[in-house]
Structure 1
Amino acid sequence: MAQRAIARFGLSLIRRNLKPATSYNVCKKRSLHNTPTTVDNSLTKSYSYSTEGNNPTSGSEESASDEPFENDEVINDFMKFDEELKEKLKTLDSVSIPRKSDSLADYVNSSKVLQTLVMFGVELYTIEKQFKEALDFLVKLDLNRDVVPKLQFLKKNKLTPQEFGATVTKNPHILDPQNKIEDFEEMIEYLRSKKFTSKQIASLLVRYPKFLTLSVPKIDGILGFYQKLPTNFANTIYFSGNQLRSLIIRCPSLLTADLEAVFLNIKLLEQSFGFSLPQIKNMVTIYPNLLLLEMKELELRCRLFLFEMELTKEELSQAALVFNNRRKRTETRHYYLKSLGRNQYKPDQKGYLSMLDVVVGTDEEFCEKCKVGTIEDYERFLKTI
Structure 2
Amino acid sequence: MHVCQRCVSLLLSRPLSAALQHSTRALHQRSHLTLLQHSTRHTLSQRHSRQTWRHFADHQAASPDVYNKIDLAQKQVVPLNSEVHRIDLDAAVHTSPLQEISEEEAVQIQVPSALPPESSTLRPYVDKSETLSKLVQLEQRPNVGSMLVRLDFHADVAPRLLFLKDLGVEESKLGQLLTKNPFILTESLDNLEARVSYLKSKKFSKQSVAAMVSKAPYLLNFSVERLDNRLGFFQKQLGLSAEKTRDIVTRLPKLLCGSLEPIKENLKVCELEFGFRGNEIQHIVTTVPKVLIANKRKLTQIFDFVHNTMDVPHSLVAKFPQVLNAKFLRIRERHLFLEYLGRAQYQPSQPNYISLDRLVFLPDDVFCSEVALATLEDFERFQKTL
Q: TM-score, normalised by structure 1?
A: 0.63
Q: Is 1:227 matched up with 2:235? A: yes
User: Identity rate of aligned residues, in percent?
Assistant: 32
1:216 pairs, out of 224, 227, 232, with: 224
Kept in 2, the 8 Å contact 1:104–1:128? The answer is: no
Shift of 1:198: 0.6
Q: Deviations over 1:195-217 (max 9, x none)?
A: 11111001112111211111211
Task: Determine the C-alpha separation between the residues in 1 that align with 2:334 and 2:378.
Answer: 12
2:340 is matched with which residue? 339
Name the SS of the counterpart of 2:218 in structure 1.
helix
1:143 to 1:253, Cα distance in 2 relative to 1, 3 A: same
Q: Deviations over 1:18-77 (max 9, x none)?
A: xxxxxxxxxxxxxxxxxxxxxxxxxxxxxxxxxxxxxxxxxxxxxxxxxxxxxxxxxxxx
1:187 is matched with which residue? 195
Kept in 1, the 8 Å contact 2:271–2:277? The answer is: yes
Shift of 1:133: 4.2
Name the SS of the counterpart of 1:152 in structure 2.
helix
Alignment of 1:353-364 (within 5 A): 353-364=354-365
Kept in 2, the 8 Å contact 1:127–1:172? The answer is: no
Kept in 2, the 8 Å contact 1:342–1:351? The answer is: yes
> Quick one: which amino acid aligns to residue 250 of structure 1?
R
Q: TM-score, normalised by structure 2?
A: 0.63
Kept in 2, the 8 Å contact 1:282–1:317? The answer is: yes
Kept in 2, the 8 Å contact 1:170–1:208? The answer is: no
1:251 is matched with which residue? 252
Q: Deviations over 1:294-346 (max 9, x none)?
A: 22222211111111111111111110011121112211111111111111112
Name the SS of the counterpart of 1:284 in structure 2.
helix
2:167 is matched with which residue? 157
Task: Determine the C-alpha separation between the residues in 2 that align with 1:128 and 1:227.
Answer: 36
> Quick one: which amino acid aligns to residue 165 of structure 2?
K
1:381 is matched with which residue? 382
Task: Determine the C-alpha separation between the residues in 1 that align with 2:133 and 2:188.
Answer: 23
Kept in 2, the 8 Å contact 1:357–1:369? The answer is: no
Q: Is 1:275 matched up with 2:283? A: no
Kept in 2, the 8 Å contact 1:158–1:198? The answer is: yes
Task: Determine the C-alpha separation between the residues in 2 that align with 1:377 and 1:207.
Answer: 41
Alignment RMSD: 2.9
Kept in 2, the 8 Å contact 1:157–1:198? The answer is: yes
2:303 is matched with which residue? 302
Which has the greater radius of gyration?
Answer: 2
Name the SS of the counterpart of 1:228 in structure 2.
helix
Kept in 2, the 8 Å contact 1:123–1:165? The answer is: no
Q: In terms of mean alpha carbon deviation, does 185-194 or 133-142 score higher?
A: 133-142
Shift of 1:123: 7.8
Q: Is 1:137 matched up with 2:147? A: yes
Kept in 1, the 8 Å contact 2:169–2:210? The answer is: yes
Provide structure 1 residue ranges, at least 5 long, that are not aligned to the other structure. Answer: 1-96, 109-116, 230-236
Shift of 1:139: 4.1
Shift of 1:105: 5.4
Q: Is 1:289 matched up with 2:299? A: no
Task: Determine the C-alpha separation between the residues in 1 that align with 2:311 and 2:261.
Answer: 30
Alignment of 1:1-385 (within 5 A): 124=134, 127-128=137-138, 131=141, 133-175=143-185, 177=186, 179-229=187-237, 237-385=238-386
Shift of 1:375: 1.8
Provide structure 2 residue ranges, at least 5 long, that are not aligned to the other structure. Answer: 1-119
Q: Deviations over 1:200-246 (max 9, x none)?
A: 001112111211111211111111111111xxxxxxx3111110010
> Quick one: which amino acid aligns to residue 144 of structure 1?
H
Name the SS of the counterpart of 1:238 in structure 2.
coil
> Quick one: which amino acid aligns to residue 327 of structure 2?
R
